[in-house]
Structure 1
């Protein structure tokens, strides 16, 4: 992380499965290369499977910096990627998520399962409650997140997301648009908050 107004590390939430759409694996690989080519570190869940493994291996292959954070009980299940420069094996999911937050300047949610959804929604909640102002971007590749985006719109329409407690997020439907969107949002806040209060 840096106080210079430049994004140093981006946390990517994504599935430990490849899914059925092969274009999503290619998108994850593409984004890994983009991070490396721009000198931005990847912070991710530490596994070597699915989209998770694809983005990390691609970043490494392109000479990028990768920090993997994984709970010990998932090390075998998600085939922990030991080739990363910084591999942190933690005790539990709570520790993993907190370290991912503390080591990142911005967040991207690629397609994934329940775990990815939970990580994304947690960040949206923290933004909504004013606990941090780091950019959060939903990578709606191939329309994957369209049902969630529709649900969020429904929550607004029915009064459960109020204007004074908006869940702020960015949306990109092309990999090439992710980094420019994050940089623009990050530049708005010269000194984003770096850590969550103890209650989180």
Structure 2
């Protein structure tokens, strides 16, 4: 596939305990803007989410946020974005972020980050999309998750192709270089075409 044009970034609504998380989020946003890749994210102005968006905007890039109305009302919405899409529910948020994106990357985050990223991995497994999915492993944050994914493959709950289709790494240049080489068919298995087209 070609270089993604719109990258969905999942990450924490907090900064975490180590400055490197924020530093890498800022550098990642700047690199996205430099490469002309639009940011699609959860629309917040807090934590690593806000840091990535601010960096994209500061370097002349495009940042699109998708946020549920209840979070706007709590005043956590980023008000300086290129576009802010307000939806009614979290399910609508995830669907709209998917519709706007052609690649998915998780920076460090908590339950929400895991929920969103694993839904995209599941959809790739089912053949519902053929977009790259990657974890930027800042400070080894995803080491244990990578080990768990290896364990899933070793125990026969995901195929070797599905394991190989998920990228884990610490170097964002390698990540951006990997995405255009992604082969989505390795992530999927045969499913009823009626499910895919539904």
Partner Cα distance (2:14, 2:133) in 1: 22
For residues 55-103 of structure 1, the C-alpha deviation after alignment (integer angstroms, 9 at most, x for no partner) is: 0001001110010000011224471001001100100011111111111
SS at match of 2:134: strand
Question: Stretches of 4+ moved more than 6 A in 1?
Answer: none
Instruction: Return the TM-score normalized by structure 1.
Output: 0.87
How far off its partner does 1:129 sit?
A: 1.1
1:10 has 2:10 as partner: no
SS at match of 2:81: coil
Q: Which runs of 5+ in 2 are unaligned?
A: 185-194
How far off its partner does 1:176 sit?
A: 2.8
Match of 1:179 in 2: 176
| Equivalent residue runs for 1:52-131 within 5 Å | 52-77=49-74, 79-131=76-128
For the aligned residue pairs, the C-alpha RMSD in angstroms reads: 2.1
Instruction: Return the TM-score normalized by structure 2.
Output: 0.87
Partner Cα distance (1:65, 1:56) in 2: 9
| Preserved CA contact (<8 Å) 1:44 1:69 | yes
Most deviating of 17-26 and 67-76: 67-76
Q: Which runs of 5+ in 1 are unaligned?
A: 190-195
Residue-pair matches, total = 188
Match of 1:140 among 132, 137, 162: 137
